[in-house]
Amino acid sequence: MTDMTIMVARYGEYLELCSQLHKYIKQKDSILITGCGNSSLSADLYDIGFQNITNIDVSEVVIRQMTSINTHRTSMKFLCMDALNTTFEKESFSVVLDKGTLDALMPDDTEETIAQIDKYFAEIKRVLRLGGRFVCISLLQSHILAKLVSTFCDKSWMFRVVRCHEAEQKNAEEGDGMTLPVFAVVATKFKEMPQLIVEVCMVGDKMQRLQTAEELMSHVKSAQDAAFVTNGLARTSLDEDEVSLDLMQPGVDSPRYTLYVVDQKGHAANKYAVFIVPQGRKQLQESAQFGRLVLAILHRGHSFVSLDAVKEELAHSAKMLIPSGFAGQVSICDVGRRTEVHAGRSARSGAFVVEDVDVEGATHRRLVFLDNQMLVQSEAKLRQGNTTRCWCNLRLNSGKVIQPGAGAI
C-alpha cells in the first residue's frame, strides 16, 4: 500500500458494520457483493431477512467453499465472476456492496491499476438502478479517495463518507498493530441534480453538508492524521513531552474539547485515566499517580448538557488513547466544576465570560476573553462572608482597573 504501510486491513463484519449498513440497505433490495471472499457478512445479512443477495468472486475455490457452507441459505447465490467484467443485465441491482475489494484492487495509482479500476467502476454504474447505492467499506487511502471522488462526486450521484467507529473499536481491542479509520462511502445514483451533494459524518449520526469535494477529502485526512497520532501513543511513552488533540463538533470552527496527554516516568500506582478539568493543570498528573493521564478541557462557547453526556462524547477518544498493556475499564473522572456567571461582548476585546470554577474545595471567579480561552485574564478567590454584597476590582493586563458598574471592558 502506498501511504498506509505494513498492516492487516480489518474492515469489520456484520456486528461492527450493521449500524451503517441498515441505513443504506433495505430487506427488499437486490444486493450484489463484489469480491465476497470467505466473509460471513452476506450470511449474516441473509439470516436477518436480506435474502436477495448475489455474491461474486474470481476464486473458484472460494465460491465452492462458500456455496457448500451456505447450502441451507437457498436463495443466496455464489458465482465465480470477475467484478471488472460481469455478465449481469443493465440495472440488475439496487445495491452494490464492496467490503475491502476496492482497497485490494487498488494498491497504487499506476496507469495499469487505474485502467482496472475504471472497468470496475464502469460495471458498478452499469448494474446499478436509478436510486441504487454503491456502498464501499474502505480505509480510503489518499489515491483511493481521489479516484472515488473523481468518479462518483458529480451531479448524478449523492456522495457521502461515514466513519465506522464500531469497526475501529473492534480492531483496537483485538489487534496489536495499527488501528486505522474505517469508512463507509455511499454513492447514490440519481438523474442529474441542480447542485452537487457532498456529505460527511465523522462522529455521531448527524450528516454535515459540504460545499466541495476538497472539504470532504480534508475531513478524511484529518481523521487519518489523528489515527497516526493515537497509534503512536498506544505503542510508546511520551516521557517529558505532551501531546494535545482538538476535538471538533461538525459544522463548528472552534474546538469543543482539547485533550492533553501526559505520561509519568517510572512506576505509577495506576495505569490510565481521563480527567475532565475546568482548565489545563499539569500538576494533576503527579498527584493522581497515573502512568498516562488525559486531561479533557471543555471549551467555552459550547453547550454541555450534563457530565454524563460529556463522558459519552469522550468515550471513543478515551479508548483510542489507551496505552499499550492496559486491559481494564477506562475511568473518566471530573475535577472541579465551571459555572458561567455572565457572558458579554466588548467593543475592544470581543466576547468574554465571567465564570465560577470549583477546584479543590475553593471557588474562583474568572474573567476570560473567548479569543484567547487558555489565558485567564483575571481571577479572584471567593469566600463566604457576612455581607450581602461583594465588590472587587478587576485588573486587566493593560493595567486598566475596571470598577464595579463601569462601562464596557
Task: Kindly report, residue by residue over 121-138, the tens digit of the pLDDT.
Answer: 999 999 999 999 999 999
For the beta carbon of residue 310, count every other beta carbon within 10 angstroms: 18
Q: Which of 207, 230, 253 is the last residue of a domain?
A: 230
If asked whether residues 198 and 325 sit together in one domain, one would say no
For residues 222 and 306, which has the higher predicted lDDT (pLDDT)?
A: 222
If asked whether residues 120 and 20 sit together in one domain, one would say yes
**Residue reference for cell 493543570:** 281
Q: Quick check: is 2 in a domain?
A: no
**Residue reference for cell 509519568:** 264
Q: Quick check: is 360 in a domain?
A: yes
If asked whether residues 33 and 120 sit together in one domain, one would say yes
If asked whether residues 341 and 329 sit together in one domain, one would say no
As for how many domains the chain has, the answer is 3
Q: Which of 230, 263, 282 is the last residue of a domain?
A: 230
Q: Quick check: is 407 in a domain?
A: no
For residues 332 and 221, which has the higher predicted lDDT (pLDDT)?
A: 221
Q: Quick check: is 38 in a domain?
A: yes
Band of residue 368 on the pLDDT scale cut at 50, 70, 90: low
Mean pLDDT of 146-158: 96
Q: Which of 333, 358, 384 is the last residue of a domain?
A: 333
49-53, 71-75, 369-373: least confident range: 369-373
Q: Quick check: is 237 in a domain?
A: no
Q: Which domain holds residue 69?
A: 14-230
pTM, 2 dp: 0.72
For residues 16 and 276, which has the higher predicted lDDT (pLDDT)?
A: 16
Cα–Cα distance for residue pair 177/198, rounded to 1 Å:
32
Q: Quick check: is 104 in a domain?
A: yes
Edge-to-edge, what's the strand order for the sheet holding 362-369?
337-346, 350-359, 362-369, 378-382
If asked whether residues 261 and 129 sit together in one domain, one would say no
pLDDT in tens, 178-194: 678 999 999 999 999 99
If asked whether residues 183 and 213 sit together in one domain, one would say yes
Q: Quick check: is 154 in a domain?
A: yes
Q: What is the mean pLDDT of the chain?
A: 81
Domain of 19, CATH number, reads 3.40.50.150
Is the predicted pLDDT of residue 72 greater than 80, yes or no?
yes
Band of residue 234 on the pLDDT scale cut at 50, 70, 90: confident
If asked whether residues 398 and 272 sit together in one domain, one would say no
If asked whether residues 348 and 309 sit together in one domain, one would say no
If asked whether residues 301 and 363 sit together in one domain, one would say no
If asked whether residues 149 and 194 sit together in one domain, one would say yes
For residues 54 and 386, which has the higher predicted lDDT (pLDDT)?
A: 54
